[in-house]
Amino acid sequence: MKTINFLSAAAILAAAVATSCSRSDEPVTGNDRVEVRFSANTADIQTRVADNSWTLDDPVGIYMIKADPLSSGNIVEDAGNRQYTASAAGAGVSFTPQPGAAIYYPVSGNVEFIAYYPYSTSVPSDFKLPVSVAVQTDPSAIDALYAKTNGGYNKSVNPVDLQFTHRLVKLAFSITRGEGVKESLSGLTVKITGQQTEATLNLTDGTVTATGATAAITANTAPDGSASEAIVLPNSGVAGMTFTFTTAGGSGGTYEVAVPAGSWASGKKYTYEVTLKRNEASITGTVGDWGDGGSETVTATPEVQTVFIPKGTFLMGSPSTEPNRQSTETQHSVTLTRDYYMSKYPVTNARYAEFLNDAGVDGTGRKTDIQSNQILIQASSGGFDWGLHYNASQWAPVAGYENHPVINVSWYGAKAYAEWAGGDLPTEAQWERAARGGVENMPFGIGAGTELTGAMANFNGRYPYNSGGEYNDPSGAYVGGTTAAGSYPANAYGLYDMHGNVYEWCLDQWDGSSSYASSPATDPVGTTGLNRVLRGGYWYLNARYCRSAFRFANGPGNRHTSFGFRVVFYP
């Protein structure tokens, strides 16, 4: 036993360690000395081994230090870095000392306690315990818990309830497979890059200080890829860090998402809902205490829902027996050598407004560095006001038309959006294969393929189409404008509005009159003519113009209340 001058928590800890090896730990008989009992009954403190609970034999280190200044020359009954272990598994547990490690209250005076997890046999003299999150294979070995009591404990207080808090940060990912991802998530890997992996835990106050260079951290991911977790260091600025999700099977891909500017706070849990899609990860997240959720949105990426279209050979154009066919529709065999994903719906006003505002396109509908300053879109107005307006400093959909297909878009505007979204416009052949939905030698790719009625698509339903061609039906449906994307049945591929609603720009050039005579049989793309192809018909036209094989063209700079588009992406 030794008299210590009161200096600081670090000095007291140092003295405690120095004296603990020289003093006798044998209990004094009678009532003068009382063994300290320890518990942890705060239910929301947990270890990584078993959420919301301790695990049997979880090891903690405990210090007892003199709490009051030694003005009266009191003797300090000290104990330094004693190992205790959880006596059971559960949220509320008691701790058992290892042989010879029991701690006893001093005969008189008050003390305080400092505890940490996991226990270390050697603590540096400055009491800054090394911490590393570089290897995540054993979370229990890197999860750092810390507890410090006030100075009001004496032999009349038993047990001492150690209120542990997490000093690091927990990341939890819930991962699902979204549109355009064919392969299983089995074997998925999740990495956090740009994060420092080494730090110290200061046992005098519980602060964590990062040290050293940054390195990639591989999270613990479930075998089926549905969930992943990692313990990382608190950080005052996470800008520049990324999450990287890599699928393992089939056409697997890598999805990289920037961590938003902000911070990861000590003792917090950040929960991320992740949906992997065609070529992006859509992520939202919450932050709260380690055991609870929160309400802070982390990030969300623009989304274009897609469906998978397989490569293969199909008959493009119309058979000679199809009523109302045009001479430009010569039927021929075409082979597409690449799988592709096509947007499930025509691009909507809401989606297109995101692009315009992100790209900084002003009210003229153009920007110098986009498509050589060509006009991308014009605002809707008058009796056809179903599109976008430019309001002061940004583009916005007309109220109630957010999910209607964008209109008044030029080919340049469609192409610019497709590139911004990471894709391209479909070729004419890709569009027709998708529209047919696997149905060949039929006018339409929905229903039985032989007819189109006002219940199946948005067109001039007073002129539906049956196996004999177009006919007049005064009672037929006629909307007289665009309808919300997805208002009618999908085809066999899961694509909506391939017939009617709006014309859709394709990649190909075309003179508007020639057939496919000189078109290659494999991955054809039209490269002659001043016009660009439009497909699918639109809300005002009769059914004959909405057939899968019908071809139309217009100048790439033109805009119209019927001109829209969709996008394709490649694995």
What confidence score (pLDDT) does residue 13 get? 53
What confidence score (pLDDT) does residue 452 get? 96
Cα 498 to Cα 34, 187, 451, 559, distances in angstroms: 82, 36, 14, 20
Handedness of CA 14, 18, 23, 25 (dihedral sign): positive
Contact 478, 542 (CB under 8 A): no
Q: Quick check: 49 pLDDT over 60?
A: no
Residue type present at position 223: P
Residues 6+ apart with CB under 8 A from 404: 348, 349, 386, 387, 397, 482, 483, 484, 485
Please report which confidence band the pLDDT of residue 316 belongs to, taking 50, 70 and 90 as the band edges.
very high
Nearest to 16 by CA among 52, 71, 61, 72: 61
**Higher-confidence residue: 175 or 253?**
175
What confidence score (pLDDT) does residue 364 get? 96
What confidence score (pLDDT) does residue 47 get? 46
Cα separation, 546 vs 435, whole angstroms:
10
DSSP assignment of 344-401 equals SSPPBHHHHHHHHHHHT--TTS--TTSGGG---B----GGG--SEEEETTEEEEPTT-
In three-state secondary structure terms, 412 is helix
Residue type present at position 513: S
Cα separation, 536 vs 251, whole angstroms:
30
Please report which confidence band the pLDDT of residue 432 belongs to, taking 50, 70 and 90 as the band edges.
very high
Q: Quick check: 15 pLDDT over 50?
A: no
Cα 256 to Cα 114, 190, 238, 277, distances in angstroms: 41, 10, 15, 12
Cα separation, 398 vs 321, whole angstroms:
43
Helix axes 349-359, 411-420, angle to 10 degrees: 80
Share of the chain above pLDDT 70, in %: 85
Start-to-end C-alpha separation, the chain: 72
Token match 């190992």: residue? 83
What confidence score (pLDDT) does residue 564 get? 98
Enter the DSSP assignment of 75.
P
Please report which confidence band the pLDDT of residue 44 belongs to, taking 50, 70 and 90 as the band edges.
very low
pTM for this predicted structure: 0.56
Please report which confidence band the pLDDT of residue 54 belongs to, taking 50, 70 and 90 as the band edges.
confident
DSSP assignment of 279-326 equals S-EEEEEEEEETTS-------------EEEE--EEEEESB-TTSTT--
For residue 320, with 0-12 CB atoms within 10 Å meaning exposed, 13-18 middle and 19 or more buried, which class applies?
exposed
What confidence score (pLDDT) does residue 107 get? 83
Cα separation, 377 vs 356, whole angstroms:
9
CATH number of the 9-166 domain: 2.60.40.2620
Domains of the chain by residue range = 9-166, 169-289, 306-357+411-571
Q: Considering only 52-56, 247-251, 441-445, which range has the smallest mean pLDDT?
A: 247-251
Architecture of domain 169-289: Sandwich (2.60)
What confidence score (pLDDT) does residue 201 get? 95
Query: For 276-288, what is each residue's pLDDT tens digit?
Result: 877 677 787 777 7
What confidence score (pLDDT) does residue 275 get? 87
pLDDT (average), residues 249-266: 70
Cα separation, 432 vs 507, whole angstroms:
12
Query: For 197-229, what is each residue's pLDDT tens digit?
Result: 999 999 988 999 998 888 899 999 999 899 999
Enter the DSSP assignment of 409.
B
10, containing H or E segment? helix 9-20
**Correct CATH for 306-357+411-571 of 3.40.50.720, 3.90.1580.10, 3.40.30.10, 3.40.50.300:** 3.90.1580.10
Provide the 10 A C-beta neighbour count for residue 370: 21
Nearest to 410 by CA among 562, 568, 563, 566: 563
Q: Which two tokens stand for residue 219?
A: 């999270």
What confidence score (pLDDT) does residue 260 get? 62
Residues linked to residue 113 through DSSP beta bridges, in sequence order? 64
Identical topology for domains 9-166 and 306-357+411-571: no
What confidence score (pLDDT) does residue 185 get? 87
pLDDT (average), residues 14-24: 40
